Amino acid sequence: MTCVIVVFLLLLSSASANISDNNFSGFCNGHPGIPGTPGRNGYPGLAGRDGRNGRDGMPGVPGQKGDAGIQGLPGPMGEQGVAGLPGPAGEKGVKGDGMMSYNSAFSAKRSKSHTSPLLDEAIQFDVVIHNDQRHYNPLTGKFTCEIPGIYYFVVHSTVYKTSLQFDIMKNNVSISSFFQYHGNWPKPVSLSGGALIRLDPTDQVWVQVTVGDYNGIYSSTKTDSTFTGFLVYSDWQNAQLQI
């Protein structure tokens, strides 16, 4: 009896050693067991902590330029500000060099009333009204240029009892010619003419009658015949401006 118990304990001890492997030596393999019932769903867990801030991303590609908006209405005018204090007076500048001016002008009239001038000769305007530079000669009736430049000459003549034609001459060349027909008018009439002429030193300008029958230049105590000329601008002054 004691031997049977010992053998049973040995067998039981050997079976216990193989239980972890589900393998009992000396026994047949059993059939798979029935699957167990699925367990219940667990409860949601607590929210996790915020993660650390990530690094800044790379700048994106610039978008296309949008359409311009509609211009807004002008705002109301603001109030006028307080006038500021006057600034300090500036220093007086240095006086610059003045540009040299060139002058030439004359005006003369005839004293003889009915004396007809000679054909193709300078008419003498013998009464000087202005001739500061002495460029006009009342004895010859001729103006002589001393300052090169542009001059203007004009003749105002009274015509009485005969027709008149006169020319403004430059060095024996007619620059301009003017004519007044008499027409048996009982009172004097006027004939005027002028010309803009470029002159060089020693050039001469005068007035002369070119047609013998048309020589009715006239003057009296109530009406005059005058010859006037003046420098408009000089070549020397232009040269100063270009320096």
* Spatial distance between the Cα atoms of 202 and 200, rounded to a whole number of angstroms: 6
* Spatial distance between the Cα atoms of 173 and 240, rounded to a whole number of angstroms: 31
What six digits make up the tokens of 108?
A: 């003369």
Which pLDDT tens digit goes with each residue over 144-163? 999 999 999 999 998 888 88
**What per-residue confidence (pLDDT) applies to 13?**
58
Residues 165, 214: contact at Cβ < 8 Å? yes
What is the residue-level pLDDT of the chain in tens, covering all 243 positions? 665 565 556 555 554 545 445 554 555 566 777 877 877 887 887 887 887 887 887 887 887 887 887 887 887 877 877 877 776 776 665 554 556 779 999 999 998 765 566 777 899 999 999 999 999 999 999 999 999 999 999 999 988 888 889 999 999 999 999 998 877 778 888 899 999 999 999 999 999 988 777 888 888 888 899 999 999 999 987 655 555
Which pLDDT tens digit goes with each residue over 188-215? 888 999 999 999 999 999 999 887 778 8
* Spatial distance between the Cα atoms of 39 and 110, rounded to a whole number of angstroms: 146
**What per-residue confidence (pLDDT) applies to 58?**
81
**What per-residue confidence (pLDDT) applies to 189?**
87
Residues 133, 146: contact at Cβ < 8 Å? yes
Q: Which CATH number fits domain 105-242: 1.10.533.10, 2.60.120.40, 2.60.120.260, 3.40.50.300?
A: 2.60.120.40
Residue ranges per structural domain of the chain = 105-242
DSSP helix/strand/coil, 30: coil
CA dihedral 52, 53, 54, 55 (to 10 degrees): -130
**What per-residue confidence (pLDDT) applies to 24?**
47
What six digits make up the tokens of 228?
A: 């006037």
- Shortest CA distance to 224 belongs to which of 158, 178, 163? 158
